[in-house]
Amino acid sequence: CRSAFKLLELDQKYGLIKPGYTVIDCGAAPGSWTQIAVKHSNADGSMPSKPKGTVVGVDLLQIYPVEHAILFGNSDFLRKETQDKIRSSLGDRRVDCVLSDMAPNATGVRSLDQENITTLCYSVLRFAILMSTPNASLLMKVWDNGDVPKLEKSILEYYQTVKRVKPRASRDDSAENFILARGFVGIER
């Protein structure tokens, strides 16, 4: 699907997922980003000489099985219980890359839709802050709106670099962008 090409392009350009990485895929259904993460993190063991990664996918919708991934379908990422399940599945592992292609169901009311996606982004950011390993990356979908600069400023408190990126696979007329944050520095500088 089109979203797979977005992640492939961004991963090729920025090297987000490497063998041995622990990756969280928020908004994972139907599973194309999870499949890419499994391959690139070597969670499938297809590169015997490289470390094996771990991939966890979560979505409000049902997710079809993806071999070598831990999946939480029919699970609301905004709920504490869901995030607790993800943490539990990781054991003592920290996260190297948090991906979010989540978007709320569109209501048609632009301001409400923008508020809803911003809420999702802050939830992903909070999870990433609590679970990331030093130097981790964060990639999340946003829709252009007046709240994005404030969100970017919030992210920059925890990451060395933050930038808005638009993959070629995104439609030109789409308000969709991705925020890419690199170099997680933690809660204290």
Residue 123 parent element (H or E): helix 110-131
Say if CB 52 and CB 21 are below 8 A apart.
no
Catalytic site residue from 39, 52, 85, 141: 141
Supply φ then ψ for residue 137, to 5 degrees: -115, 160
Q: How far is CA 69 from CA 30, 39, 77, in A?
A: 13, 10, 17
Does 141 qualify as catalytic in the annotation? yes
DSSP-based three-state secondary structure for 23: strand
Longest dimension (CA), the chain: 51
Distance between CA atoms of residues 189 and 3, nearest Å: 34
Angle in degrees, CA 185, 52, 5, rounded to 5 = 75
Residue (of 61, 14, 7) closest to 39 by Cα position: 7
Residues forming the active site: 141
